[in-house]
Amino acid sequence: MIQRVATILVIDDDDSIRKVIVAALQNEGYDVISAENGREALDRIAEATPDLIISDVMMPDMDGMTLLSQLRSEQSTRGIPLILVTARGSTSSVIAGLNLGADDYLVKPFVMSELLARVRSKIERPPVPSDLLMRDRLTGLLTERIFRDEAEREVTRTRRGGANGCLAYLSLAEWTSVRQRLGPRAESEIAKQLANLLTVEQRPLDLIGLGGAPGSFGLLLPETTPETAQRHLDTLSQNIARHTFIAGGEHLRLTSAFGFTTFAAGSSLEELRDHALTALDIAVAHRDLHSRQYGPEMGSLAARKKTAVRPGAKTRWEQLRARLNLPWQITLTLIVGWVIPFFVYAWFDSIGYDITRYMYIIVVIALALTAYFIWIEGFLSLKTVHPPAEPKNPYPLASAIIAAYLPNEALTIVETVEAFLRVEYPAPLQIILAYNTPHDMPVENILRDISRKDARFIPLRIPNSTSKAQNVNAALAEVRGEFVGIFDADHQPAPTAFTRAWRWLAEGYDVVQGHCVVRNGEADWISRLVAVEFEVIYGSSHPGRMRLHNFGIFGGSNGFWKTNLLRQTRMHGFMLTEDIDSSMRITEAGAKIISDPLLLSAELAPTSITALWNQRMRWAQGWYQVSVKHLWSGLRSKHLSLRQKLGVFWLLGWREIYPWISIQMTPLIAYWIVKYRGVDKLDWFVPIFVLTTLFTLSVGPGQALFAYMVSVPEIHKRKRWFVFYLIITSLFYTEFKNLLARVAQVKELIHERQWKVTPRTTPPVS
């Protein structure tokens, strides 16, 4: 364990004597603070408990005896060793001081070596009152030894009686960096404040103690199920995230991480401790305020790291199975969507019930209803809503977080950073590039050169990160702005983007989602398709849906958050669409998200079928994860109106049902062909069928038209792109996206999750 530097408080109203003592102690390696009288000393002690106090007796305002008496009367300070410094001949003061609880004394004038010897004696063998032997002087929590003893007793009790219980460990993700920057004094201040936060939420049976490593705390939660422990620890994380720590004269916002494990039968305390610390390591890496429970997969992951198994070494059978994985998943969706309904219709018919006519009506209504709401969204998007007028107060400090995975985005990142440095904002703008990379890259030298030339830019490499969510969460420790924009590595915001975003946020909105515009549409037919699709999504669907349902969605990039809300919310890296997940979490809590189609940022679209498939598959599977997680919680939220809850059902429930309904005409028609022995036996011109088909088919042209009407000028002038989009959508793209949604559900149900960073191609220089 790292040895903590002792902190000594020197109190004397004589400036020259105080400075001499301080200098001597500092030369010995102690962290020294000082005060001129007892009253000022109490302020210093309230900030962080020192390891030793050296105090003069005769001082103005509050003398040494009064200070000593007050310290010994308080439970939190009665154990601090105190050396009195008295004037020659004041024997009565010495006796009075010792009676009040002083631990030692010196008579002026004294030899400095004697003072240092007495200081070392008290630091190395601190006199602690008997009723505080179990507790740490600085925090008031159980010492590491006592905490382990209590945990051992609880584990033994569990073995005998099989009671529930959990062991948890807490660490602050920024602990090391804060200590290096502000010193051990700040470390003590933070530890004391953190201990207070933990004890506020302490339940009757819980025990809290030191964890062993610097900045580590242990929590023993007897009679607690894993679900209850998860809720309790997440609440603690939220409280810590909301708290403003004061240390080293600075105001800090820190990120807590909890790892925990349950009392498994037969497990020793050392095994449980290792499990909880393994889970803690994962929680620290994600920094998402979500406590992690230990699972067997964590142990296997640690084992793989230790044995350094070479990645990618697959057998031929594994390679073949990987190639066949997607085809069988698609086949499975066809069996579920086509084959099974066909035989269900046949079985019901065989027992005398023809359910196809009812199923036909249900499918027709579903298709018509979906088309109707898409048309409504389009009409609502035509109304342009501008942000409120310029705020009366000055614009605040703003921050931008650019999340990047350098091996894939090294070619675009410098261009992106330069675009952010050109942003026009009337107040200071902080730009943080939060990136991860498995190895050093030449572009990092360029980024460091930019930061040396422009203090606004901070390149921040995130060790051990594997996701955008981890990068964003880690960057929040550096954010100083009152609001923060989140961007992907290929984005180039409009010069006035931050100014426009603050106008919304200053009027009570919590998040503003902007309009992402494709800037490489000339690259190939895929980028042109996506360019128009983004106008459909960000220019029409998002704003129209927001007005229809009265809540918006954060889309992952070109979104602006109030910093305090983002700190409390974080991004969850275990979600494939962490942006939609965070949107639903804050919406369920009553936050307000608005979509502004005129808040622009240009990005790069995929330029290959593989890249497009991987991107949209992640989106589809991520949406399904969010639907499973948030549908019922959204419908039960006390913060949402009935209109908003209907919107939640439409956004999360219906979007997962519709891809299966959209293909139900095929098994219905196939069954009728078999039943009535031929295509020519069917009446294809039933009015309801014809009208529904025409209305459903009108959605594609309608979306293209609405997107064209609200599109940004650089896309609006490309009329052929919209015609091309309409043709491709009508031929296969709509069903392509429905297929993605169906396959995504299969992947999620079999727990096949894979994050693939979408590669981008830089646009040609004109």
pLDDT < 70 stretches in the chain: 1-4, 89-91, 128-133, 161-162, 265-266, 300-314, 318, 678-689, 754-766
Task: Answer for the pair 490, 576: CB distance below 8 angstroms, yes or no.
Answer: no
Which CATH class, in words, describes the domain spanning 144-307?
Answer: alpha beta
Using omega within 30 degrees of 0 as the cis cutoff, is the peptide bond preceding 109 cis? yes
What pLDDT score was predicted for residue 308? 41
Model pLDDT, residue 186: 80
Residue 465 is encoded by which pair of tokens?
Answer: 């990160």
7-130 CATH fold: Rossmann fold (3.40.50)
pLDDT digits (tens, 9 = 90+) for 207-222: 899 887 777 899 999 8
- Write out the DSSP string of 229-262: HHHHHHHHHHHHHH--EEETTEEE---EEEEEEE
Provide CB contacts within 8 A for 398, sequence distance 6+: 425, 427, 428, 429, 430, 481, 482, 483, 484, 485, 498, 502
Is the Cβ–Cβ distance between 234 and 289 less than 8 Å? yes
Residue 691 has a pLDDT of 76
Sign of the CA dihedral with 550 first, then 553, 558, and 559 last? positive
Q: How far apart are CA 433 and CA 448, in angstroms?
A: 11
Q: 141 by DSSP, 3-state: which?
A: coil
Pairing of the two strands 82-86 and 245-247: unpaired
3-state secondary structure of 511: strand
Q: What is the pLDDT of residue 304?
A: 44
Please answer whether residues 482 and 178 qualify as being in contact, where contact means their C-beta atoms are separated by less than 8 angstroms: no
pTM value is: 0.80
Residues 6+ apart with CB under 8 A from 566: 476, 484
The residue ranges of every structural domain in the chain are: 7-130, 144-307, 330-386+533-552+605-766
Tell me the sheet residues that pair with 594. Answer: 512
What pLDDT is attached to residue 5?
80
Of the candidates 171, 166, 170, 172, the one whose C-alpha atom is nearest the C-alpha of residue 272 is 166
At 654-712, the pLDDT tens digits run 999 999 998 998 898 888 888 887 666 655 556 666 777 778 888 889 999 999 999 99
Could you say which DSSP state residue 38 is in?
H
Predicted pLDDT at 301: 46
Q: What is the pLDDT of residue 537?
A: 95
SS3 call for 620: helix
Look at residues 248, 236, 250 and name the one whose alpha carbon lies nearest to residue 189.
Answer: 248
DSSP designation for 698? T
Separation CA 8–CA 54 (nearest Å): 7
What pLDDT is recorded for position 223?
A: 85
The alpha carbon dihedral of 673, 678, 683, 684 has a sign of positive
Do the beta carbons of residue 660 and residue 745 sit within 8 Å? no
Residue type, 641: S
